[in-house]
Amino acid sequence: MNRSHTESYLKLLQEKLTLALGQKEKIRQAARVLAKTLKSDGWIYAFGTGHSHIFAEEIFYRAGGFARVRPILDPDLMLHIDASASTEIERREGYAATLLSGYQISSKDVLILASNSGRNAVPIEMALLAKKAGAKTICLTNLNHSQEVSSRHSSGQKLYEICDVALDNFGEIGDAGSMIPSMDAKMGATSTIIGSALLHSIQLETASLLLKAGHSPEIFHSSNTDEGEKANQRLIETYKSQVKNL
């Protein structure tokens, strides 16, 4: 019996998730960075362009996510205003400096960046600026893709070469991984599902490290439960003035 396209896609995702979540030492390394940040009352910054901006939202104001998160969400680098223009802007050197000037990132903080190709100027520049400020950097990227392409930043570097911890999503070159006969393009993206799983795994490991150190992390609950809404309101009152998106 021929496997359906859905079954093939599921198998592909399962294989890649196994590889990605098998990066146990890198996940622990990232968790140690986050744990140190939170114990020091630092901030977790998160940034991505295009579809990768989803990851900045995935860990912000999220049930089961840390409270001390500042997402860097720039509408011009997202998709809801002008998707094609965002592709041009993410290649524009100098843009990240202007964007990051609105944040006070410091040596107590960590910046999580997501870029599937890891080649575009804005995320590369963002990582370089964060490191210059003394912050630690963690990236989610596709090493296979990134190593096959040239950098679009004047330094010639790619994101995985800059960041303190680089996690591989083991995705396909071009992200989509499933081919249907008679079509000239693949379908079935891989980076979003795998990247989200990596982020949540890192957060779980971070919480475990914090608890072992006697530090209870502040976690958002589901606001659609009565108990969760009350707990969240306390966090919102604490951090509303410190997080522009909250």
Q: Cβ distance 171 to 144 under 8 Å?
A: yes
The pLDDT of residue 1: 39
**CATH number for the domain formed by residue range(s) 19-174+190-239:** 3.40.50.10490
Per-residue pLDDT of the chain (246 residues; tens, 9 = 90+): 357 888 988 999 999 999 999 999 999 999 999 999 999 999 999 999 999 999 999 999 999 999 999 999 999 999 998 999 999 989 999 999 999 999 999 999 999 999 999 999 999 999 999 999 999 999 999 999 999 999 999 999 999 999 999 999 998 888 887 777 777 888 889 999 999 999 999 999 999 999 999 999 999 999 898 888 888 999 999 999 999 999
Nearest to 52 by CA among 198, 181, 151, 177: 198
**Domain map of the chain by residue range?**
19-174+190-239
Stated pTM of the model: 0.94
The pLDDT of residue 36: 98
The pLDDT of residue 6: 87
Length of the chain: 246
End-to-end alpha-carbon separation of the chain, Å?
A: 51
> How far is it, in rounded angstroms, from Cα 48 to Cα 97?
15
Radius of gyration of the chain (CA): 18
The pLDDT of residue 126: 97
- As given in the structure block, the two tokens for residue 122 are 């804005």
Q: Cβ distance 45 to 105 under 8 Å?
A: yes
The pLDDT of residue 226: 82
Report the amino acid identity of residue 45. Y
Report the amino acid identity of residue 197. A
